Amino acid sequence: MSLEAIMKSLSFPAFAIALSVGVSSIAIAQTTVPGATTVNPTETENDAGTIEQMTPGNEPVTGVPNARPRGSASGGSGTGGSGSGGTTAAESAAIAADPMARADDDMKAVLDALASLDPKPIAELSPEEARRQPSPADAVKKVLEGRNQGQDQAQAEGGQAAAPEGGVTTEDVSFPGAETEIPARIYKPEGASGPLPVVLYFHGGGWVIADLDTYDATPRAMAEAANAIVVSAHYRQAPEHKFPAAHDDAVAAYRWVLEKAESWGGDPAKIAVMGESAGGNLAINVSMAARELNLQMPVHQVLVYPVAGVDTNTKSYMENADAKPLNKPMMEWFVKQVVANESDKQDPRINLVGEADMSGLPPTTLITAEIDPLQTEGQQLANKLQEAGVPVNGRTYLGVTHEFFGMADVVADAKDAQELAAADLRAAFEKTPSGVTKTGSADGAAPETDATTAGAPAPEADMNAGAPATGPAPSGTAAGGSATGTTPNTGAVTPPPPTDRPDTPDAPTPADRPTPSASPEPGPVPPETPEERPAQP
């Protein structure tokens, strides 16, 4: 079939992606074997000069012996899409015509449950209406309810009792934000003793929707998996509070954690940051602010499909323009709510893959999803961090969508991704000397115990972080997972088109800025032994 005939049969997004990619192949010859966590793969550039992909988290690098094929454990039937090594223009166009065809079976079950809740298109709603929509977390809850009913019946028939769940305690508190008190929730692993490391977590929602309840699943899971205190901090949201309100509150939350960590039973020297979608953007911005303000540097940062750019015409944006639960119109709507003017779109705090300075930041775990408009910019951010000398352990998970990370109860890849993040956090904490003295005071004093150089990627989590050279947009739809008291929400933020922009107002220039402690040099990691992913329920 000719390319012209294919175009006639495809939707507008499909036609657009074909035009944007061109007829040349975007193949990547990935030759780096597991263990090289900070080495980019050999790649082929397309006509726009973009570089394709990080190592898929659920598919070994091409050419690795005994590689487990995608979907062998989860039942996925997708083609690999933008997560595959090479894609022709016609293939990209076909992907754009039906982006959800690549979803694994367990991911499809969540998407079907979400559809049954009848969410309205976010881009057609007011912010107030958008905040009342059912979220992916609600869909996960529905899947679990159906599964639990079947299990209860089977257990009743067999005379078996339900297995007890792992324990995490929570406490709802508030902290002094940049302008007002902000809600937060502290998660602690039940029965843990001794000073514990601390993770400051920021939820997604495009800086507009979602809250602590919507994104309860991830901090709850990470507290147990990383054996750490996790502090989930909310922030002021747009359009009531325009950019940079959320970013200012995120930095205020970090100062508060530095000051209070020891009083919660935490180790003040072992503090990491983490976030999903718009929250991933906030997490890396906290690290950037720590460098600029001479605060204690986080020992590690976990960025899950972060909003990292403003180009909404990247390959993943075009292929996933109509994806669920996050799509291009939603991202554009989010950005419209967030920014006060066009110049805000080019601020380095939003357009991370533009002019933002990545030097001196902590070792990074960067996770992206195949069926996600933000995949390309996530890959670009991984490359930019590596080019700045920051160790990066990055994975693209095939067959899953934006918001998959918090869905470990029902999506196999989410469990894998959480284990990857937790392993990297544990490794970072283990490498950091304990600090029993107070550090990181609110006046910006540097900590007595320097944790900047701690936290290399976990040995078992290897990657190739070759990322494209263009990047799109923001936030994220409400995170999945079995959350208690889930508040209906769906979200993602849209980053605007990138342009050169001056440094952030009031931020020290590179010449004025104190030199941060050197980050550890990237180093090889022992190759992992592939483990079978748990079979889909």
Q: What residues does each domain of the chain span?
A: 1-148+165-432+448-502
Contacts of 301 (CB under 8 A, 6+ apart): 272, 273, 274, 283, 284, 287, 361, 362, 363, 364, 365
| pLDDT under 50: residue ranges of the chain | 1-52, 58-85, 160-164, 438-537
Distance, in Å, from the CA atom of 421 to the CA atom of 429, rounded to the nearest integer, reads: 12
pLDDT of residue 322: 97
Q: Known catalytic residues?
A: 277, 372, 402
pLDDT of residue 88: 81
Contacts of 478 (CB under 8 A, 6+ apart): 135, 136, 137, 138, 204, 205, 209, 210, 214, 215, 325, 403, 488, 489, 490, 491
pLDDT of residue 487: 35
Distance, in Å, from the CA atom of 138 to the CA atom of 216, rounded to the nearest integer, reads: 12
- Is domain 1-148+165-432+448-502 in CATH 3.40.50.1820, yes or no? yes
pLDDT of residue 79: 34
**Which of 204, 249, 240, 199 lies closest to 221 in space, CA to CA?**
199
Distance of CA 416 to the CA centre of its chain: 14
Kindly report the length of the chain: 537
pTM of the model: 0.71
pLDDT of residue 90: 84
